[in-house]
A and B are shown apart, each in its own frame.
Chain A
């Protein structure tokens, strides 16, 4: 049971940290919190406490540590002391049943009570939790302090309970240095403890420890305990250290998992956001100065919406953790922290993950490996079953992890080094669900992707990028996709503005060529148009032609001549306005012109023959048609009708009026046609939201194509607009003519009368 010097030292330090008031004792509350941070089940803790009290052993915090993180050797020692082998099973069963939440302590001690309170609400102990978390993070520091020799006794019993199982294990390194230091915990110690510790916590702890450990090794800023590092540190854990040096900023999978869990405590919906006020409260627990937190926020709130999405939260959390490790905050967000910057080809599975696959990492098979590998190596076969059990527990734990209210927030992790490279590869990035984005798009979206509302973005973007690359271009294919993607695409579009928001960090805001949303929208429209019309360019034309009025019946030269003659005096026949033929639209044009202008052209030709003009004039006065024509607001049709009914209408006048009517109707029809065209255009545009989705799926080639089409459509549209205005002009002229005619009639009236 003797503690090594190092252990003593470390525990002493821990005690010092806990014993802030210098009283030489740690209050039960504090101790409780501290112990709880170890993740040991409350029952065990209470038993430990009892044991300590009973034996009056000089307590070494080690016992506590051992329960949690201490290497096996300690346990063995404690076993010797300990008397409760049987309890283990009990506890384990309890744990399994209870999941994360610690069942009420069987034996109520002050500690256990405090622990209870904790479990009840995070907030209660939030203030304390910080200290605890601190301690947790640096396992050695935190744990040992609480149990100074005096108080330590309680811990030992707990250890004992655990010990029986562990005893068999032949962990050599653990004995001496294991207790003192971080690294060992990962290995055998963890496994052994894991069974007893809350499953949820176990996983977290593992990651933390690893992180810490690595951080210590890799990063410059280390804590005092560096010196303390045990000789027996696991080689496996150590090996990965070098990596950490490379990039402190990279968030490892374990870290990400932990951050995600923290995120979920505040925002169960991964696609949701944490509002600033909530996040503030949370991050203030880190005890970092406001100024630094503010800076961190600046770096992490990528889209400046005052809220943190999962990704943003991970960044913020990571920065906080790093800051806790005395790593200076960067002026700009390090590249490796940028969303998706971390996604690389070395994570082949990311792409394969289904949206819901986030949990994959949590799945029993996945989680254990990291833990188990080391353990299995160090542990004897006899413990294999334990491991298996542990795995099961960890499974349960995984689910539990999601509801982490119980866990103290740990701000101290450190650099990211994967515990086990192999495991890392095997396990897809845990974040997937939230991020949802396939690595494919990673590069493109790196900068832009700090959406606070990940759901919309991710949902929309995910489908996009993959489809982009692989989708065949045919229109038919797009259709189905469109319907499915419609919503997402719209969301995406709506989100686009976010990108545009000015940011201090220039890099992120640079628009990625080809990715921009706005461009896509128009494209989609065009494509839609095409699909509906099959031949995009001609659809509109067709519509125009369809409505086009039948060519007016041939006119009798005589009549026409006369009135046209008259008109000549008053108004020269309207000249056909010069038209600019649209680029692509000669064909439609022709059709229109042919229909439209035929009438007008008829006039001049008719005018040529003047023979009967005089006759017409002479007859005109007799007409009664005037009535109809005179009607002030009368539209031409009405006039014609009236004139028709009118008994004595002279043929000439009648025909004239009918001609006019035809003309006007023609024009009207044409206008209507134009309107139809416009409507069609509108209709083409309306489907936009639905189609929007597929611009995404288009390849760049398609994009260009779409842009071309869009342009052509626009041109056609403008041409139609021009045509429309021309027609209006003509209509006006015709109206003028009509008025002139009416006036004429009026003049003639006296004669007729």
Chain B
């Protein structure tokens, strides 16, 4: 159900983008790119409100006609963006949360690999597997 999963570095360049095979992958790239503004906004606003405990999950960033975009920011300001089909109405917020948590876990696992330099594009197979599983099963 997730049609696109993106990991974006702190400096807002993409580390990893995986989309379902489609003719129009670029559309997702744009969508993700657009979402960064919202993420930025949310981060700054959240930072003001509660500076101590930040909620990593940003919730629904914005909906489009066909998709809903959800965001998540790690403590190191790495952003995760997941685009879901909005046709899927029975999707609960908790499920999105758990997806992000899973993604975050996979990401941090991958970071544990000393042969990965933070900031590089993510080529880890295991990470990709997690993402693919997310896109298929959900």
Contacts and interface: CB of A to CB of B under 8 A. Distances in A.
Interface of A: 275-277, 279-280, 283, 290-291, 293-295, 297-298, 301, 304-306, 331, 501-505
Interface in B87-125: 102, 105-106, 109, 111-116, 123-125
A279 B126 contact: no
Closest 4 interchain pairs by CB?
A276-B114, A306-B112, A504-B126, A294-B115
B20 interface: no
Given A502-B102, A502-B105, A298 B114 contact: no
B102 to A, nearest CB: 7
A504 B129 contact: yes
Nearest to A292: B115
Contact of A276 (B109, B112, B127, B129): B112
B60 interface: no
18 contacts: A276-B114, A279-B114, A280-B114, A291-B123, A293-B115, A297-B113, A297-B115, A298-B125, A304-B109, A305-B112, A306-B114, A502-B106, A502-B109, A503-B109, A503-B126, A504-B109, A504-B126, A504-B130
A275 B114 CA distance: 9
A509 B109 CA distance: 14
A672 B124 CA distance: 60
Given A298-B126, A504-B125, A290 B106 contact: no
A301 B105 contact: no
B124 A294 contact: yes
A331 B116 CA distance: 18
Contacts of B102: 502
Nearest to A275: B114
B116 A294 contact: yes
A295 B124 CA distance: 7
A505 B133 CA distance: 13
Contacts of B106: 502, 504
Interface of B: 102, 105-106, 109, 111-116, 123-127, 129-130
Contacts of A290: 115
Contacts of B126: 298, 503-505
A405 B115 CA distance: 24
A298 B130 contact: no
B57 to A, nearest CB: 18
Given A294-B113, A505-B126, 20 more contacts: A277-B114, A290-B115, A294-B115, A294-B123, A297-B113, A297-B115, A298-B113, A298-B126, A301-B112, A304-B109, A304-B112, A306-B111, A306-B114, A331-B125, A502-B130, A503-B126, A504-B109, A504-B125, A504-B129, A504-B130
Nearest to B106: A502
Nearest to A289: B115
Nearest to B127: A504
A324 B130 CA distance: 29
Q: Which of B111, B114, B126, B130 has the most CB of A within 10 A?
A: B114
Contacts of B130: 502, 504
Contacts of A504: 106, 109, 125-127, 129-130
A298 B111 CA distance: 11
B113 A306 contact: yes
A301 B114 CA distance: 10
B123 to A, nearest CB: 7
Given A502-B102, A502-B105, A301 B113 contact: yes
Nearest to A297: B113
A505 B127 CA distance: 11
A306 B112 CA distance: 4
Contacts of A297: 113-115
Q: Which of B112, B124, B125 has the most CB of A within 10 A?
A: B112
A465 B123 CA distance: 40
A216 B112 CA distance: 34
A293 B117 CA distance: 13
Contacts of B127: 504
Contacts of A275: 114
A304 B127 CA distance: 12
A171 B129 CA distance: 56
Contacts of A279: 114
A295 B127 CA distance: 11
Nearest to A284: B115
B52 to A, nearest CB: 25
Nearest to B108: A304
A679 to B, nearest CB: 34
A290 B124 CA distance: 12
A233 B113 CA distance: 42
B60 to A, nearest CB: 25
Contacts of B114: 275-277, 279-280, 297, 306
Contacts of B109: 304, 501-504
Nearest to A504: B126
Nearest to B129: A504
B105 A280 contact: no
Q: Which of B105, B111, B115, B123 has the most CB of A within 10 A?
A: B115
Nearest to A290: B115
B124 A298 contact: yes
B125 A280 contact: no
A297 B115 CA distance: 8
